[in-house]
Chains A and B, each alone.
Chain A
Amino acid sequence: MMLPFLTVLIAIWSLWKGRRRAVIGWWLATLLIYIAWCAYHMTEVLGLSF
């Protein structure tokens, strides 16, 4: 779970340094990692009963 926090921090650092393409790249990497974690944490069966 630390990986998206790391990549998003690198994106902010790149932004601070004025590297726009790097920011977009690291943001995109964060989004992909985010989706992977969503698939891991949001696909278990819900404990619902009606």
Chain B
Amino acid sequence: MAYTVRRLDTLILLAVTVALWFAFAVEIFLQQFPCPLCLLQRVAFTMVGIGLLLNLRFGVRPMHYGVVILSSLAGLAVAGRQVLLHILPGNPGFGSPVLGLHLYTWAAIAFFALLAYSGIILMLAFARQNGVPCRFGFAEKFVAAAFFTIALANLISTVFECGLGPCTSHSFGYHWFRP
């Protein structure tokens, strides 16, 4: 599994590197100079690359995926902000679109995909660790019971509102409780 994860990390690092080189080529050859938010996204991609490189250099560890996740969140915040800056109708956006989307929109998608990738790898690569069941302490039992109760309450209220099928989109209320 660790060997597969290393290969996947290498592939993702290659994709991040290609994205950075592509943005650099657009800057040099098309003379489209990056805005401050664009530069911050480049920093975030490089920070993601460090997390992946840590795996390749020092072995696959959950902490290294923490680096990838925090870097991706930082990048997603800036890319999302830039998407929202140009979201109004009639706004041409910043720079030329590539395959129908601007580079910052592609960046937002990429950071989102990196988050999903990290989540999947953390689930699969470390599935066999810390598998020993533990007993709840008093405070943990209280919080877990409150958590279970609200999950149950949400199930019951949703059944009252929507029944066993799809919810109605035009009237809201506990139809099963008060038809």
Contact = CB atoms under 8 A, between A and B. Distances in A.
Interface of A: 1, 4-5, 8, 11-12, 15, 18, 20, 23-24, 27, 30-31, 34-35, 37-38, 41-42, 46, 48
Contacts of A27: 47, 50-51, 67, 71
Binding site of B, secondary structure by majority: helix, strand, loop or mixed?
helix
Interface range on chain B: under 10, 10 to 19, 20 to 34, or 35 or more?
20 to 34
A interface, by DSSP: helix, strand, loop or mixed? helix
Contacts, number: 62
B125 interface: no
Contacts of A35: 74
Given A8-B46, A38-B77, 11 more contacts: A5-B43, A11-B50, A15-B50, A15-B54, A18-B57, A23-B50, A24-B63, A34-B74, A37-B40, A42-B77, A46-B85
Interface of B: 36-37, 39-40, 42-44, 46-47, 49-51, 53-54, 57-58, 63, 67, 70-71, 74, 77-78, 81, 85, 88
B23 to A, nearest CB: 13
A41 B38 CA distance: 11
The 8 lowest CB-CB distance pairs between A and B, nearest first, are A4-B43, A41-B36, A8-B46, A20-B58, A27-B50, A11-B50, A42-B81, A15-B53
Contacts of B54: 15, 20, 23-24
